[in-house]
Copies of this chain bind each other. A is one copy, B any other.
Amino acid sequence: MFYEVHVKGFTMAHPDVPEALRGTYAGLAHEAALAHLVDLGVTTVELLPVHQHVPEAFLGGRGLTNYWGYNTIGYFAPHDEYSAEVRAGRPGGQVAEFRAMVDALHDAGLEVVLDVVFNHTAEGDQDGPTLCFRGLYNDAYYRLYPEDPSRYEDSTGCGNTVNVSHPVSLQLVMDSLRYWLTEMGVDGFRFDLAPSLARDDRGFDRAAAFLDTVGQDPVVARAKLVAEPWDVGQTDSYELGRFPPLWREWNGRYRDTVRDFWRSHDGLLGDFAQRLTGSADLFGGDGRRPTASVNLVTVHDGFTLADLVSYDHKHNEANGEDNRDGTDDNRSWNCGAEGPTDDPVVLALRRRQQRAMLATLLLSQGVPLLLGGDELGRTQRGNNNAYCQDDDLTWFDWSAVDADLLAFTRRLIALRRGHPALRRHRFLDGSAAGALRWSTPAGDEMSAADWADPEARAVTLYLDGHAAPDRDDEGRAMVDDDFALLVNGWWEPLTCTVPPARPGRRWVGEVDTFDPTTPPAVDPTAGSAGTVVVGPRSLVLLRSAPAEG
């Protein structure tokens, strides 16, 4: 699973990282920082852009900078500002320091994936500065309007678009990917606004030169490849599910559905069920697998999880654009008060909402992406576009950790890692029939009418740990316990009938997002497997354990 994090923000305020290393590659590689990742249990660290970048000029005028770094000028250089070596007066030292960081992460059992921004550069549009490619071979590196080649096409919202259809740009991108894999040792990439790399003059094309070239490359095709499957400024730029089999995709539909479901919107139960089981509707063709779906509820761009349950509206005044920047499509719910509050009812609801969404994320088929800090209850005080905030708004505040939430998240991740039934390699249909069964809270099989009911908000998912198991690397069947996931999207508690346990097994409560401190108890009644009360807007996970012992 992915843990999305900013190199600088992760340790800039970390008390156990030596001050000279805070906010640097060496800081991220420090044992105090690594310990958090290892204890949490994530497997892949996805770093916000580390290619050399520069801030936009207008930010300087506001006393701001570009913190996120989606503004590249050098595709072969680790950003120097994140280097303790450079800071200590050893320019060029960032290369070895970055490499050492990758080694340290590998030694800790973690993969490293880079967020790479090949769709545009910091040179921006026709009014931007000449920093790199513009002065070398403008019409090879950038898409220009055919009817007016003095102007730049913009499918990135940043003023220009790199023309990866051109052989020169294509080679630049491919050489960069090969460099970071072979020389710097990273394990893969998340491609920012990936359709901008896969568009020819007829629009998005899954046989575009870039995708074909990646697919046949002996080095790059073996890396982890994740698309952000949309871009901006052109029509038809939402390409979720359309990338080739090799690729994984950020599942934006997952985010929208999970957010809306847990604020009890109507008519989402079927959609939610698809998201929970790997989004076969999006990725079920071409031999793709559930692992093509990178499930996410929050990412760097938008609200943090804590803010998602604390704000109805963005609060971006600090960005200097009178709160006009940032999306208004947040699908957030402040749970009864906007922002900080002392109201214990609101605060309790917010905690339950965070747990419900974290549990959904970590119990869904597919690959979860956790926004770094969400496990700590990190807030950005309602700023949903903190790209220009390089301060305590964005830096991890290790003195304000929500210890209960962190413990809850760790438990969920450990559960996921321990149980192959929760992270299947194949979609549970066809030959795997029976591995997955849906029922109503009353215990009946879900009918078409049940799925179509816009008022339906609760469902039980039975995962058979024995049916059609995946194989491990040695070819052994990964038979697992069975699970029952009881989902209640209502605002009232719901008594749910539990599916019958396999003979010789009994259900034990593993997760209850309503009250994580008290394991959910199954109430057996005659002639039935029993019932469980699932709290409002909550889910319960049961695991089949041996009946005796």
Of chain B, the residue at the smallest CB distance from A182 is B218
A166 to B165, CA, bound (A): 17
Secondary structure at the A interface, as helix, strand, loop or mixed, is: helix
Which residues of B lie under 8 Å from residue A178 when comparing CB positions? 218
| A534 sits at the interface (CB 8 A) | no
Q: How far is the CB of A117 from chain B (nearest CB, A)?
A: 19
This chain: how many copies in the complex? 2
Which residues of chain B come closer than 8 Å to A200, judged between CB atoms?
A: 207
Bound CA span A386–B207, Å? 39
A209 within 8 A of B: yes
Which B residues are CB-close (under 8 A) to A207?
165-167, 200, 209
Interface size on A, residues (CB 8 A): 20
Of B171, B217, B221, the residue contacting A215 (CB under 8 A) is B171
Asked whether, in the complex, the Cβ of B167 is within 8 Å of the Cβ of A212, the reply is yes
| Chain B positions within 8 Å of A215 at CB level | 167, 170-171
Q: Is the CB of A170 within 8 A of B218?
A: no
A216, B213: Cβ atoms under 8 Å?
A: yes
Determine the chain B residues whose CB is within 8 A of the CB of A217 once the complex forms: 217
Contacts of A211 in B (CB 8 A): 167
Bound together, the chains give a CA A430 to CA B216 distance in angstroms of 41
B residues less than 8 Å from A519 (CB atoms): none
Task: Tell me whether A175 is interfacial, beta carbon within 8 Å.
Answer: yes
Bound-state CA distance A209–B167 (Å) is 10
Provide the bound-state CA to CA distance between A221 and B170, in Å: 13
Verify A174–B216 contact, CB threshold 8 A: yes
User: Which B residues are CB-close (under 8 A) to A216?
Assistant: 167, 170-171, 174-175, 213
Interface residues in A175-232 (C-beta closer than 8 Å to B) = 175, 178, 200, 207, 209, 211-213, 215-218, 221
What residues on B are CB-neighbors of A218 within 8 Å?
175, 178
Q: Does A244 contact B (CB under 8 A)?
A: yes
Chain A residues within 8 Å of B, Cβ to Cβ: 165-167, 170-171, 174-175, 178, 200, 207, 209, 211-213, 215-218, 221, 244
| Beyond A170-B215, A213-B216, 14 additional pairs, beta carbon < 8 A | A167-B207, A167-B211, A167-B216, A167-B244, A170-B212, A171-B221, A175-B216, A207-B209, A209-B212, A209-B213, A212-B212, A212-B213, A213-B213, A217-B217
